[in-house]
A and B are shown apart, each in its own frame.
Chain A
Amino acid sequence: DVVLTQTPVSLSVTLGDQASISCRSSQSLEYSDGYTYLEWYLQKPGQSPQLLIYGVSNRFSGVPDRFIGSGSGTDFTLKISRVEPEDLGVYYCFQATHDPLTFGSGTKLEIK
């Protein structure tokens, strides 16, 4: 199974600062069709996960442009510029390239 290793495990950020989360895969996430099925989700406290980024860098509808996904192959990053209070929660990367689909272990973002 593909293992997604997220770092850091937790992150404490001052409002207005930037946050960066890494997701490293045990295998390349580029599929044979050339697409990379790497996504980012945010689970706010007490809520269901919500989609932020798909295809490495595409923002889902309504997601602010403060959220920027990047990377390729096995190394991916989610950057959140100008962190706001509503950004707190647990961030998960997820891969849909290989079966079984797998999630990273999560990164908890706290506001200082």
Chain B
Amino acid sequence: QVQLKETGPDLVQLTQTLSITCTVSGFSLTTYNVHWVRQPPGKGLEWMGAMWNGGGTDYNSAFKSRLSISRDTSKSQVFLKMNSLQTEDTAKYFCARLSSSWELDYWGQGVMVTVSS
């Protein structure tokens, strides 16, 4: 069945770089797009960006040039990297699959990341 699982650090130091891996199963990264969404504690959802099935990427300009998304199709993994972390980047980070009808039909359980000074 379709599954996505995020793995990453619990704690990242201020100004450092965050790296999260989304490992998927039950579908191919060359067929489906994978998106990243984050949620600060007690707040709403924010779309961050996407890895398209063809290998291209799309980013929310709110993250300017801090965000990078890549993949390793042989390992069924999508990677999120974000640099220059600030305390406001403390959030739960989710990866989710975008279906052919452009809905986020399956989500990972998320990884909670705290940015500490």
Contact = CB atoms under 8 A, between A and B. Distances in A.
Indicate whether A and B interact: yes
Interface residues of A, number: 24
B44 A96 contact: no
B44 A60 contact: no
A94 to B, nearest CB: 7
Contacts of A103: 37, 44-47
Contact of B104 (A49, A55, A58, A104): A49
Nearest to B45: A103
A90 B108 CA distance: 18
B46 A49 contact: no
Interface in A20-61: 37, 39, 41, 43, 48-51, 54-55, 58, 60
Contacts of B96: 49
Nearest to A104: B44
Interface of B: 35, 37, 44-47, 58, 60-62, 94, 96, 98-99, 101-105, 107-110
9 contacts: A43-B45, A49-B37, A49-B104, A51-B105, A55-B103, A94-B104, A99-B58, A103-B44, A103-B45
